[in-house]
């Protein structure tokens, strides 16, 4: 995978729209995206490892598996609340400075989870750890899109999100294995260490991108009145929930329904993550060709993948293939919606970009809650898969309605 190298003498360097000044004299777009994607790798590892270790956490803290799912929902709630608040009040803070502060906060919050002594402490620390998540991804996406230029912005954002999807292939299985071998707290200690490494990489490679001349708290707040922005956000808030209705309960589904050994869970997580890597990069490339058609295709294919999965979970190998298909089809929605929000948000770019991850973590909380609810209602271990199917269809309906309203406007 190759990226452009930009300097101030490069005639192909994209212009910095709405910026008061140009960025620093020289930067390598490859290393900028690498550093920002490393942050995505750290955050993705942390967000998903709680799902991979849900049985170990529940056993150690003496709570049920659905109750342990509340830790995941607490993190997602932190993202939902933290993203807009940070985006609004940090509107005038230089983007590199903000990224560094967010990653430092993230490292400390995950260390707090590793040190928590009881369920209440874990619940609170997971909520706190979620606060910087959405703002980090939102600001990182804006930096990558601005430096890459309008013709390659979707690809650049997809490569930022590649860090998150690679986390599902490498980081989450590694953290899950550590948690199974040395106690679940080791998984969060790894996350804190990754955050420190990312902090150093961003300090070294990310250029100083000045605050846009139009940026202000008032401008960001004005974005809250944008109906098209809220409609776009609702697509991800609902349509992406299916991934988490399944991902949250992968471990008990495989051990209780498929009757697989718990040691296969890290392998299953890696295979699902591999599907997410391939799907994310493919959807990013397609979104640069036709954004709206890509989003429609993602939601239709994800709904189909849940139907296929419901018939493939009895045998281990077919179950692993089903998880791969789920990851392959649904993950592209994230980067595509990030670009769509840039188009509809006007001057409230930071707010919209950050709220995208609030929407996806609302989907996280919604999917985890509904998956746990159907299990508690004795609907069976496959019920979370059908939750995913329904949420994908609802997301598709919202997308089609949004596009129809945009055409009329």
pLDDT digits (tens, 9 = 90+) for 173-185: 888 889 888 988 9
Answer whether 0.85 is exceeded by the pTM: no
Question: Is the model's pLDDT at 14 over the cut of 60?
Answer: no
Q: Mean of the per-residue pLDDT values for the chain?
A: 84
Instruction: Look at residue 18 in the predicted model and tell me its pLDDT.
Output: 42
Instruction: Look at residue 216 in the predicted model and tell me its pLDDT.
Output: 62
Question: Is the model's pLDDT at 6 over the cut of 80?
Answer: no
Find how far residue 57's CA is from the centre of its chain: 22
Instruction: Look at residue 214 in the predicted model and tell me its pLDDT.
Output: 62
Q: What does the pLDDT average to over 328-357?
A: 81
pLDDT digits (tens, 9 = 90+) for 210-249: 766 666 677 777 777 888 888 989 999 999 999 989 988 8
Q: What percent of the chain lies above the pLDDT cut of 70?
A: 92
Q: Which CATH number fits domain 21-408: 1.20.1250.20, 1.10.1660.10, 3.30.360.10, 1.10.10.10?
A: 1.20.1250.20
Q: Which residue(s) pair with 6 in the sheet?
A: 27
Instruction: Look at residue 391 in the predicted model and tell me its pLDDT.
Output: 96
């Amino acid at each position: 995978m190759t990226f452009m190298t930009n300097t101030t003498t490069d005639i192909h360097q994209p212009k910095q729209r709405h910026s008061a000044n140009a960025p620093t004299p020289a930067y390598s777009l490859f290393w900028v995206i690498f550093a920002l994607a490393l942050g995505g790798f750290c955050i993705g590892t942390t967000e998903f490892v709680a799902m991979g270790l849900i049985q170990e956490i529940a056993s150690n803290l003496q709570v049920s598996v659905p109750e342990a799912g509340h830790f995941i929902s607490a993190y997602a709630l932190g993202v939902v609340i933290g993203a807009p608040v940070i985006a609004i009040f940090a509107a005038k803070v230089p983007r590199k400075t903000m990224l560094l502060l967010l990653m430092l906060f993230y490292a400390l919050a995950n260390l707090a989870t590793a040190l928590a002594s009881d369920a209440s402490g874990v619940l609170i620390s997971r909520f706190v750890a979620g606060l910087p998540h959405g703002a980090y991804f939102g600001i990182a996406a804006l930096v990558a899109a601005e430096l890459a230029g309008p013709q390659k912005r979707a690809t650049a954002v997809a490569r930022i999100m590649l860090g998150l999807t690679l986390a599902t292939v490498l980081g989450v299985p590694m953290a899950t294995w550590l948690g199974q071998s040395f106690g679940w707290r080791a998984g969060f200690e790894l996350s804190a260490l990754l955050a420190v490494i990312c902090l150093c990489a961003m300090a070294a490679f990310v250029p100083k991108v000045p605050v846009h001349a139009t940026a202000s708290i008032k401008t960001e707040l004005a974005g809250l009145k944008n109906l098209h922005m809220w409609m776009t956000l609702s697509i991800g808030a609902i349509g992406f929930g299916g991934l988490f209705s399944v991902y949250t309960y992968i471990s008990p589904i495989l051990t209780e329904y498929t009757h697989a050994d718990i040691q296969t869970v890290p392998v299953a997580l890696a295979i699902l993550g591999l599907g997410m890597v391939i799907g994310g990069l493919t959807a990013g490339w397609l979104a640069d060709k036709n954004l709206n058609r890509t989003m429609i295709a993602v939601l239709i294919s994800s709904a189909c993948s849940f139907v296929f999965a419901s018939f493939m979970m009895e045998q281990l190998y077919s179950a692993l293939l089903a998880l791969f298909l789920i990851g392959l089809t649904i993950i592209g929605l994230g980067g595509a919606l990030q670009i769509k929000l840039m188009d509809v948000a006007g001057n409230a770019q930071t707010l919209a970009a950050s709220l995208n991850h609030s929407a996806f973590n609302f989907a996280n909380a919604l999917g985890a809650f509904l998956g746990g609810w159907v299990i508690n209602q004795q609907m069976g271990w496959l019920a979370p898969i059908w939750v995913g199917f329904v949420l994908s269809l609802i997301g598709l309906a919202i997308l089609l309605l949004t596009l129809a309203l945009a055409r009329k406007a």
